[in-house]
Amino acid sequence: MKKQQPSYLNFDKSRYAWKPDIDYRAEPERYFVGKGEQGVLICEPYKSEIGQYWRFKTEAIAVESSNAIFALFAAYLKADDFVGADMARKYLQMGYTRARRYANYKGGKKYDEQNDYALLQRGTGDMEKAAAANVFYTRWKEAEANEKYASMKKQWKHERG
């Protein structure tokens, strides 16, 4: 097995741009887009608003979940709330990546903690999660392709990072 340590082992909270004690709706200027799903499990009140719908156990649950999250994405866009829309997009992306992890690795475990974090064998996961991942992937890409969102994101990154 290939040896590769997970990035969370050397995580430095003090250098992380997103903080759990900030209300990002009240202080949106403190929000950074970042890479991928960064900040998704920290930024309130969006974490609580969106996270309650985030599920991917089966394809049917993923359809219901991704529809609810996409509806929030659309509502945030309608309200010109870029931070909310970006957080909803991140939850859609995370639905895809986490479901894929469970599809690829039994129990969603990628590393063997008991064996110096050796990479576990791929292809041992749950195929139902692969179908759930496809559902989230479609919605995630639909969100990213939204013209208003893309324009807001480009402007936000230009102005704030």
Range of the domain at 64: 41-159
Q: Do the domain assignments include residue 16?
A: no
- The CA angle 58-111-63, to the nearest 5 degrees, is 15
Q: Do the domain assignments include residue 12?
A: no
- Which residues are CB-contacts of 2 (< 8 A; sequence separation ≥ 6)? 118, 119
Q: Do the domain assignments include residue 102?
A: yes
Q: Do the domain assignments include residue 146?
A: yes
Average pLDDT over residues 94-119: 78
Q: How many domains does the chain have?
A: 1
User: pLDDT tens for residues 38-64?
Assistant: 889 999 999 999 999 999 999 999 999
Cβ pair 100, 121 in contact under 8 A: no
CA 54 to chain centre: 10
User: pLDDT tens for residues 125-156?
Assistant: 668 889 999 999 999 999 999 999 999 999 99
- The CA angle 105-12-99, to the nearest 5 degrees, is 20
At position 50, the amino acid (one-letter code) is I
pLDDT of residue 49: 98
Strands (DSSP E) found in the chain: 111-112, 118-119
User: pLDDT tens for residues 3-31?
Assistant: 566 665 666 667 777 888 999 999 999 99
